[in-house]
Amino acid sequence: MKNSILKITAIFGLTTVLLNSCGGPKDNPPLVYFPDMYYPVAYDPLMKAKDAYSDHENEIPAFVAHNGATGLSPVEGSVSQNRDGIVTEEALPKNVDQYNAGYDASRLITTSPLKPENLEKDLARGKVLFDHTCSACHGTGGDGQGPIVKSGAYSGVPNYADRDITIGSIHYVLTNGRNAMGSYAGQLNVGDRWRVALYVYNTFKGAAATTAPAAPAATATATTEQTSTAAAAPEAKTNAK
């Protein structure tokens, strides 16, 4: 009986010592291995940075060159979230009425905010992005006969030629989704969504709408080059205005 009492007392004492040694107040810990866990510092990217654990200002050369500001431009070769400098579009619609109102408004948009002088480059990148991201369902010809549709796993993808679409409505659907198609805002940044919209319209809609009935069929590239300088056919190169 006496041995049991001693064992219980020893265990209780050891537990008390361990709890006291690990449970000190966080505002004055005896030893801090990870100070960020105790003293998190929120940096203002437009203000001069200061070392949180000393009285010395941050002397990193890149910060010093920008008057101490920590919000620097992306390193050359890295991925920029908004390299095109396009202001992020409006807030996402919260209900069906807001969505429909936004879609109707987007159909009135016939130009993109991208620089007109970069149109050919934007169309080329738009094609690459479309082929990689959209063609699985929409098909490389924009006819809604991508490999997923042909496999029978998915159906109901429309042919662009049969749709009443504009550059703005294409971008709106890419951003917010429509019907069974989800949003691609997580896969494509705002500038690239406009590039895909330009490519889809110019290749599958605008070019077909402005081709004369008696003219021979032209490739998407040839139509794009012709309409870039044709004043009588503004629909095919809307962004070049």
85 Ramachandran zone, left/alpha/beta (phi>0; psi -120 to 50): left
Q: Where are the beta strands (DSSP E) in the chain?
A: none
| The token pair that represents 127 in the structure block | 């094609």
Same domain, 183 and 139: yes
pLDDT for 219:
35
Same domain, 114 and 177: yes
pLDDT for 198:
96
Q: Give the CATH number, domain containing residue 165.
A: 1.10.760
Same domain, 65 and 103: no
pLDDT for 68:
66
Alpha helices (runs of H) in 78-146, residue ranges in sequence order: 96-106, 119-133, 135-138
Report which of 135, 123, 136 is spatially closest to residue 194, judged by C-alpha positions.
123
| The token pair that represents 105 in the structure block | 């408004």
Residue 41 lies in a domain: yes
Residue 183 lies in a domain: yes
pLDDT for 167:
95
Residue 79 lies in a domain: no
* Rounded-to-integer distance, Cα 208 and Cα 223, Å: 9
Domain count, the chain: 2
pLDDT for 210:
38
The one-character DSSP state at 217 is P
For the entire predicted model, the pTM comes to 0.57
pLDDT for 173:
94
Can you tell me whether residue 124 is helix, strand or coil? helix
Range of the domain at 56: 24-72
Report which of 181, 220, 176 is spatially closest to residue 201, judged by C-alpha positions.
220
Out of 10, 38, 72, pick the residue that ends a domain. 72
- Going from the first residue of the chain to its last (241 residues), give the mean pLDDT of each consecutive group of 10, the final group possibly shorter: 73 70 56 64 63 55 68 69 68 86 93 92 96 94 93 89 93 92 89 95 71 36 36 47 39
